[in-house]
Amino acid sequence: MPAIKSLEDLKRIREEALEKRKVKTAEGSVQVTVAMGTCGIAAGARDTMKAILDHIEANNVSGVVVTQTGCIGKCDYEPIVEVSVGAAPKVIYGHINPERARKIMQEHVAGGKVLTDWVIPA
Amino acid sequence: MRDLALHLLYIAENSVAANAKNIALAVCEDLRGDRLTASVSDDGKGMSAEMAAKVVDPFVTSRTTRKVGLGIPLFKAAAEACNGSLTIESEIGQGTRLDVDFQHSHIDRMPLGDLACTLLTLFVAYPQIHWLFEYEAIPANGKPAEKFLFDTQPIMVELGDIPLTEPAVLAFISEYLESGVAQVRAAIHN
């Protein structure tokens, strides 16, 4: 059974993060929002969210804010993920399973390329 | 909704929508009494007793995108199908508390699901909320109960302005939750 981590570990992590921040300059802010209304959760939004968090963890991605929102009224497109990079207009993706979420993290969040095939038509 | 962890996720979302600052989630697997109980309580804006009695009706919802809400009615039906119940207590300005319980051994009882994942997504998405999570297991054979407590306040104090989505922080919280939940589960599932 793995030992439960302590706040001491957290202290060390915080110091490391502060150290890293000194080196890095501020990046344009990136916000990733997962819609988690009842419809989103039923469609698998939590797994999509977890895939995004796992990607951040595994690839050491800094400066991305991940948040949630409720039902946005497009339940047939759930799970829905919104990505906004810097001042660019927000992009709303539909039917985002964990695999697609990872692709969005790689190509849109990291590479700046909008994956037009998955964007919900306005 | 396939499991309890997913149900708790959207119930907690309701608490967030009610502008709660403190939200507590508790899950107890009591094998001695053969009950599975869970609760979500918040200090959000609350609702009138009349509204609290009505939210179990699928055609009552406070949202404006649509006129029906199925979350709570389906959850209640699932509990009642397993010799259980779902109750909501609420007071305007004080908060809301939802309690649900199932017969643990009932064949139709929904699985527990991934509690650690539910907690992680809630905490990361709403770090400004003070989350309190308690997961307890009471073995049937008279062995002592095992309990895991997760309080986000000391973590937020320790982190200061370091965001939760910092990869090392995320890894820490996710491992902390997973090992804590696994330890309690081990007391009854082995």
Span B81-90, pLDDT tens digits = 999 999 999 9
Nearest CA in chain A to B3: A42
pLDDT in tens, B132-178: 999 999 999 888 999 999 999 988 888 887 878 788 888 889 899 99
B121: nearest Cα among A4, A33, A63: A33
- Residue B119's pLDDT is what? 93
Q: Is the bond preceding B139 in cis, omega lying within 30 degrees of 0? A: no
pLDDT in tens, A58-94: 888 887 888 888 888 888 999 999 999 888 889 999 9
Q: How far apart are CA A88 and CA A86, in angstroms?
A: 6
Provide the ipTM. 0.71
> How are beta strands B95-103 and B85-91 bridged, if at all?
antiparallel
Count Cβ–Cβ pairs < 8 Å, chain A vs chain B.
117
B3 near A CB under 8 A? no
Give contacts of A16 with chain B, Cβ < 8 Å: 168
Q: Do B183 and A4 touch (CB under 8 A)?
A: yes
- Residue B83's pLDDT is what? 96
Tell me how far apart the 2 most distant CA atoms of chain A are, in Å: 49
- Residue B68's pLDDT is what? 47
- What's the DSSP call for residue A77? G
Q: How far apart are CA B137 and CA B146, in angstroms?
A: 5
Contact of B150 with B24, CB cutoff 8 Å: no
**Residues A104-109: what's their mean pLDDT?**
93
Mean pLDDT of chain B: 88
* Half-sphere CA count of B146, side-chain side, radius 13 A: 16
B63: nearest Cα among B18, B126, B3, B7: B18
The residue count of chain B comes to 190
Nearest CA in chain B to A58: B167
Residue type, position B67, single letter: K
- Residue B60's pLDDT is what? 59
Q: Which of A37, A62, A65 sits opposite B167 (nearest CB)?
A: A62
